[in-house]
Structure 1
Amino acid sequence: MNASAQPRLLRALAGETLDRPPVWFMRQAGRYLAEYRALRETAPDFISFCFDPEKAAEATLQPMRRFPYDAAIVFADILLIPGALGQKVWFEAGEGPRLGPLPELAAMEAEVEASTQRLANIGETLTRVRASLEPERALIGFAGAPWTVATYMIEGRSSDRTGARRFAYEHPEDLDRLLALLSDATARYLVMQAKAGAQVLKLFESWAEGLSEPLFQRLVTAPHTRIIQQVRAAGVDAPIIGLPRGGGQLVEDYARDCPVTAVALDTQASAAVGQRIQKTKPIQGALDPLLLRAGGKALDARVEGLLAQWGSGPYIFNLGHGILPDTPLAHVEQVLKRITGEGMRAV
């Protein structure tokens, strides 16, 4: 395949500056789409939905039919790995994830190799999507990064991460051991996804905020590096995007020290930070999901500002976090039409 025929996302991740940036949105497959909500009603619970390749593939493809996104991201969840390692995981309606007691570390370490096979349905979803997706549109696989996943495993639910940070200080050896086994399981999971059809991989470190510099290096940069080294050692050369959300000024250190292909920036990232990182790596982000929901002239102005400040380097247009469930479709169209020239499609 010649360079011009490659998916636009892959070209940007290879360092090209294009006539327009590729665009996709985190959580673009999900609750802001009426067709997703109808599909979700056909599964008994959220975990079952994620593990149903037919339904998950359909959820992945729904936004691709409606909008001119340049890439699809597989419909799954960052908390599938804890379940594969033996921790009980479920979702309470209207409240979010719940996890049972943290299993013994030795028990989870013994399950690392088997965990990938327990996640094989996600690979089947990817294979189904890749077979249905146009060749010019890329397919993204992903995993939750170890520290973010560990916060849920330790605290049993979404929280302010205070308990997990305290655990990091009070039980450093146990936490390092937990992060190591999560890194190993995550690397195996990403390799499986690449072999199943994912052309790009992403690590979601959703909760990187509030960490001191030493803790950030230990909990974020080091585990990400370990994962990427194992993925590369397995022969997978797919580009890898890292999102250290909330990392603030430490994101530049992350870009320098971690062997990610590209860095996804959150909503607080300054123009200058992005421009400095762009000198060595592509960047992605950082539209505020709340602004996308609000719409109007302020949304237009911010889109123009992001294109002006980062569009001259390798850049992927995206949000700084996931799209919100109550985001009007017209606002999504407003952004995508400006970037791609195409409006919303009939479904």
Structure 2
Amino acid sequence: MTHPKTLLATLMGERQPIPPVWLMRQAGRYLPEYRALRAEKGGFLALATDPDAAAEVTLQPIRRFGFDGAILFSDILMVPWALGQELSFGVGEGPRLTPPLVDHALAALERVPARLEPVYATVARVAASLPPQTTFLGFAGSPWTVATYMVAGQGSRDQGETRRYAYADPGAFGAVIAAITAMTIDYLAGQIAAGVEAVQLFDSWSGSLSPAQFEAYVIAPNAAIVAALRTRCPGVPVIGFPKGAGGKLPAYARETGVDAVGLDETVDPVWAHRALPDGMPVQGNLDPLALIAGGPALTSAIDRILAALAERPHVFNLGHGIDQHTPIAHVEALLARVRNPG
């Protein structure tokens, strides 16, 4: 090992004898300390835009579990908020953006990039407080996934409204993608300037697209983001996480230029090892429900992933975010198994 931070070294292509571990959504509702702080702040947006509180949430799972990576506590919808949409989180409703672009012109939005300043302040606080061996990860939503919320105003099961909009008016939708891409480049560069050491692009809804739309709205904008960050922030690894990409994953890995690829829980890691470029770091891909189940099911799932990806740089993670009902003891068991496979 040539770098003291094993997660950062892995993302740079160095295979470790024991894979580094972090979990998507590791700072969140399964932790009692998070629930207490969120109740005190009174809501998600208030918590995410308070740099002291957001830094505390980011650090909570590092103190409790000693993960190899800390992931910034924020939300992928900070970018549309900075582009001028209003953002709210209703109780039991999920996030809402107004006005939805399906019936409102993008050009009518007034951009407010200052809304991102609390995130950079959070990054600076966390960077000053992390243990020296812990890699600090920033993130943003990928343009397609962010666009689905901007167009529809909220999440949906099949992103049908946004897909129809993209087919009906590709020019207008292309402008939405371009605006998100440009703001995302600035946003990630700002996070890096403030102290993050690697970044992840979350494309939670990439699996809903046809091959042609996947090329246009997933691969092309992510390639533009990666290329811009290479110029502005050389040497900072970028993880791409195109959830649901399936058979399109090798093309994504080759054509976007990302340094590492995250696998969702539906991807066979044996296939991924064969299909992805030699030596490319891979992240994933334990089913979050296996983590809830615990016991022999959890142990066998962990062992299968470790065996499948043993010959390439591997960051152990979930195939998506940790569920709020996950027992803390099961997270402890996961860490013990990965770090001491025996």
Q: TM-score normalised by the shorter chain: which range applies? A: over 0.9
Structure 1 residue runs of 4+, over 6 Å off? none
Using the alignment, how far apart are the partners of 2:323 and 2:273 within structure 1?
24
Using the alignment, how far apart are the partners of 1:26 and 1:260 within structure 2?
18
1:63 is aligned, of 61, 66, 69, to 61
User: In structure 1, what is the equivalent of residue 315 of structure 2?
Assistant: 316
Equivalent residues in 2 for 1:1-347, closer than 5 Å: 4-101=2-99, 102=101, 103-108=104-109, 111=111, 115=113, 117-160=114-157, 161-270=159-268, 271-277=270-276, 279-341=278-340
Cα pair 1:72 1:137 within 8 Å, conserved: yes
SS in 1 for 2:318: coil
**Cα displacement string for residues 139-185 of structure 1 (whole angstroms, at most 9, x for unaligned residues):** 00000111101101111111020111111111111111100010000
Using the alignment, how far apart are the partners of 1:5 and 1:158 within structure 2?
40
1:132 partner letter: S
1:85 partner letter: L
Using the alignment, how far apart are the partners of 1:241 and 1:41 within structure 2?
32
Using the alignment, how far apart are the partners of 2:16 and 2:340 within structure 1?
15
Aligned residues: 336
Offset, 1:310: 0.3
Using the alignment, how far apart are the partners of 1:300 and 1:278 within structure 2?
28
2:219 partner letter: T
SS in 1 for 2:285: coil
Offset, 1:15: 1.1
**Cα displacement string for residues 36-77 of structure 1 (whole angstroms, at most 9, x for unaligned residues):** 000001213211110100000000000001102100001000
Offset, 1:340: 2.3
Offset, 1:4: 3.5
1:314 partner letter: P
SS in 2 for 1:327: coil
Using the alignment, how far apart are the partners of 1:224 and 1:235 within structure 2?
16
Using the alignment, how far apart are the partners of 2:105 and 2:208 within structure 1?
27
Using the alignment, how far apart are the partners of 2:26 and 2:3 within structure 1?
24
SS in 1 for 2:139: strand
Cα pair 1:278 1:314 within 8 Å, conserved: no
Offset, 1:106: 2.0
2:107 partner letter: A
Offset, 1:257: 0.8
Using the alignment, how far apart are the partners of 1:16 and 1:248 within structure 2?
25
Identity of aligned residues (%): 45
**Cα displacement string for residues 292-319 of structure 1 (whole angstroms, at most 9, x for unaligned residues):** 1111101100100000010221111000
User: In structure 2, what is the equivalent of residue 345 of structure 1?
Assistant: none
Offset, 1:107: 3.6
Give the TM-score, by structure 1 length.
Answer: 0.94
Using the alignment, how far apart are the partners of 1:174 and 1:89 within structure 2?
22
Offset, 1:341: 4.2
**Cα displacement string for residues 82-129 of structure 1 (whole angstroms, at most 9, x for unaligned residues):** 111111110111221111113522244x63xx52x3201111111111
2:210 partner letter: S
